[in-house]
Structure 1
Amino acid sequence: MRHTVLTGDRPTGPLHIGHYFGSLANRIRLQDEHDVYVLVADYQVITDRDLPGEIRRNTVDVVLDYLAIGLSNTTIFQHSAVPELNQLLLPFLSLVTVSELQRNPTVKDEIAHSSQAAVSGLMFTYPVHQAADILFCKGDLVPVGKDQLPHIEVTRVIARRFNERYAPVFPVPDALLSQTPLLKGLDGGKMSKSRGNAIALKASDDETAALIRRAVTDAERHITFEPERRPEVANLLTIAGLCTGRAPEAIAEEIGDGGASALKRLVIEAVNEFFRPIRDKRRSLAEADVHDVLRAGNARAREVAVRTLDEVRQAMGYAFGP
C-alpha cells in the first residue's frame, strides 16, 4: 500500500547522527515506496526562542544534509513558503481545548528547555501546527521518535474531529516508530543540536574525535552493555553498533578491560568510517543545489496545500462559487 509520509526538521543547526539513525535513514528507505514530503520547519524555530537565529544559513545546512544522505525522490519544502498550510492552523485550533494542549508532555519538555524569556502562546499551539504540517498533504504515515507520539495523537484527534464535525476530508495518520534505540547526547542527556551534545553529520574527523573523547562514561574499567545501570557507556556502544552493524554486547565483550579510552577510540573510528561517504558527498554540493531543490519542492507543496485548503473551506461552508 502506498502511503503519504510527512516528516521534517526545524532548521536550528546542522543535523546530527541521532537524526540519521532515528529518522533520516528511514526516510531514504521510504522515498522509493511512498510519497514523501520533507518539511524544513522554519516557522517553528520561533516556537521556543525569541529570535530565529541564522535561519537562512541553517536552512541551507539542513537541506545540504538531506541531499548528502541521498534524499532525492522526495518533496523538500519550507514552512514559510506555503502560506495555505499555515491557514489550516485556525480551524484546527478550534478543534482542541486549552487543557489538552497544556498537558501535552512534549510541550512540557520543550517549555523546560526553551530559550525564551517567557513562554509564548505559540508554544502551546506547537502540536496543532504540526497537525497542519501532516494533514495539509493528507499525510497518513508519520515517522517519529517516541517523544513525538503525543503530537501525533493530537493530529489524530484533530483529523477525527474535523471529519465528524464537517466532512471526511482527512486521513487519521499513524505513527511509524523507528526500530533504532533512542540515542542520548554525549553528556548523557537528550541528544539535541541546540544543546551542544551531538555529533553533526557534517563534522570533520577531528571534530568527531574531540566530541567523543569528551563523552560522559563512568568509573568502571571493564566495559559491559547494561543500558539501565550504565546508560552512558551503553549509548557509546549503541552508536558503535549502529555504525558497524554489530551487536553492542559483542563490542563490549571485545573491549573488555580496555576501559573508556578503548571504547571511545573504537567509537571514533566507527563513526568517522560510517559517515565518510556522506561527508564527502556534502562537500561536493553547492548552495545552488539547495535553491533548486527548494524552488521545486515549495511549488509542489503549495499546489497540494491550495487543494487541501479549498476542500476545508468547502467542508466548513466558507467557499463560494463552483
Structure 2
Amino acid sequence: MTKGTILSGMRPTGRLHIGHLSVLENWVRLQEEYNCYYAIADWHALTTAYDETEHIKENIKEMLVDWLAAGLDPEKCTIFAQSQVPQHAELHLMFSMSTPLSWLERVPTYKDQVQQLGKMGKDINTYGFLGYPLLQAADILVYRADAVPVGEDQLPHLELTREVARRFNHLYKPVFPEPKALLSKVKLLPGVDGRKMSKSYLNIITLAADQEELKKQVNAMVTDPGRIRKTDPGNPDVCVVDKYQGIYASAEHEDIREQCRKGAIGCVQCKKKLYQLLEEQQSPLRQRRMEVLKRPGYLDEILHEGAIKARKAAQETMEEVRAAVGI
C-alpha cells in the first residue's frame, strides 16, 4: 500500500519552546505512517522579519537541532530548508497569476496580524505578506501532499490551498490533490507571566533550556497574587503553574487544585513538583541535542540531502505544471 504524503513546516524566527513540542511529537508519529516533507520555512520568516535577517542562518540550525532532539529521523522523513528548493517559488508565481486577490484578503489572520504588528512598529503591508498563504499553498502542493497536520486555527489556510488546487485543475488539467486536514490537538501553554508564550515577551521555556534556566523560568511563573501565606486558600484558576499541571500532572491535577483551595499546598511546593515533571521531559531532549552537536557537519549534511530529495519531487510536479499550462 502506497503511503500518503504530508508537508508541514515552521518558520525559523527564534528558539523553539515547549509549546512547540506537541507539534513535533505529532510529526514524529506521522513519519512512521506517511511520506513526510518537513520544511524549515525561511522564506516565510521574511514575511514578517524582512529587515531582521542577521540570525536566520543560526535559527535554521537551532531549529534543526530541536527537531532531531524531538525525534525526527532524516532516514524516515525529508528535512530541508525551503529556500533551497526554488520550485516552491516557481509554483507560487504560477498560482499568483490565477488566484483572485479577494481570496488572499479574506484570510482571517491577514488584517489582524497587520494591525497587531503595526502596533509594535512593524510595517508588513507588503506584497510578500499578503501572498504568504499562497506560498503556503505552493509549499504543500509542490509535493502533491494529500494531507496536512494542522490546528483548527489553520483550517482557513488549508481551505485556500484546496481552492487553489481546485482552480488550477479546472483551468488547465488535474495535477493536484485537494489535501485533507489532519487535525492535531496542540498543547496551549501560556508564557511564565500568563501572557501568550513569545520570545518577544521573554516568557518562554525553550526546548534547549538547561536545568538552571528551566528552574528559573518555573520559579518566575505567576501564581495567585491574592495568596500571601502558604496556608491561605488559593485560586488555581488564576495560576500559570496550574495550567501546566493540567498537562504534565494530569492524573493528580484535581487533587492539587483541591489542596490549593484548602491552603494545604504552597506555591513553592507546586513549582518544585512542576519543575521535576518538566525536567523529566527536558532531560532526554537535552541529551539528544548534545549528541547531535557532537557530529561536525551533520546538520549541513541533513539539509543538503533533504534539499536534493525535495527538489527531485518538486521538479517532477513542476514539469507536469508547465505541461498543463503550456509553457
**Normalising by the residue count of structure 1, what TM-score does the alignment of the two structures yield?**
0.88
Distance 1:118 1:39, change over 3 A: closer
Give 1:252's aligned residue: 257
Give 1:27's aligned residue: 27
Bigger Rg, structure 1 or 2: 2
Worse-matched range after superposition: 290-299 or 258-267: 258-267
Worse-matched range after superposition: 146-155 or 121-130: 146-155
Kindly provide the CA deviation profile for residues 159-195 of structure 1, in whole angstroms up to 9, marking residues without a partner as x.
1111111111111112222234422333333323454
Could you tell me whether the CA contact under 8 Å between 1:186 and 1:212 is conserved in 2? Answer: yes
Give 2:207's aligned residue: 201
Give 2:162's aligned residue: 156
- Cα distance in 2 for partners of 1:274, 1:255 equals 24
Give 1:78's aligned residue: 81
**Alignment RMSD:** 2.2
- Cα distance in 2 for partners of 1:194, 1:144 equals 24
Aligned residue type for 2:282: F
Q: Percent identity?
A: 40
- Cα distance in 2 for partners of 1:194, 1:84 equals 33
Q: Does 1:315 align with 2:302?
A: no
Could you tell me whether the CA contact under 8 Å between 1:241 and 1:251 is conserved in 2? Answer: no
State the Cα distance separating 1:3 from its structure 2 match. Answer: 2.0
Distance 1:264 1:177, change over 3 A: farther
- Cα distance in 2 for partners of 1:247, 1:153 equals 40
Worse-matched range after superposition: 128-137 or 106-115: 106-115
Give 1:103's aligned residue: 106
Superposition map of 1:1-322 within 5 A: 2-21=3-22, 23-49=23-49, 50-72=51-73, 73-111=76-114, 112-113=116-117, 116-221=122-227, 222=233, 230=237, 233=239, 236-244=241-249, 246=251, 248-253=253-258, 255-256=260-261, 257=263, 258-286=265-293, 288-318=297-327
State the Cα distance separating 1:208 from its structure 2 match. Answer: 1.5
Could you tell me whether the CA contact under 8 Å between 2:19 and 2:187 is conserved in 1? Answer: no
**Normalising by the residue count of structure 2, what TM-score does the alignment of the two structures yield?**
0.87
State the Cα distance separating 1:262 from its structure 2 match. Answer: 3.3
State the Cα distance separating 1:282 from its structure 2 match. Answer: 0.3
Kindly provide the CA deviation profile for residues 121-144 of structure 1, in whole angstroms up to 9, marking residues without a partner as x.
211111111111111111121112
- Cα distance in 2 for partners of 1:187, 1:204 equals 20
Aligned residue type for 2:20: H
Distance 1:275 1:103, change over 3 A: same
- Cα distance in 2 for partners of 1:166, 1:271 equals 53
State the Cα distance separating 1:255 from its structure 2 match. Answer: 4.7
Aligned length, in residue pairs:
311
Kindly provide the CA deviation profile for residues 57-92 of structure 1, in whole angstroms up to 9, marking residues without a partner as x.
111100001111110021000011000121111122
Could you tell me whether the CA contact under 8 Å between 1:237 and 1:267 is conserved in 2? Answer: no
Distance 1:219 1:277, change over 3 A: same
Worse-matched range after superposition: 114-123 or 280-289: 114-123
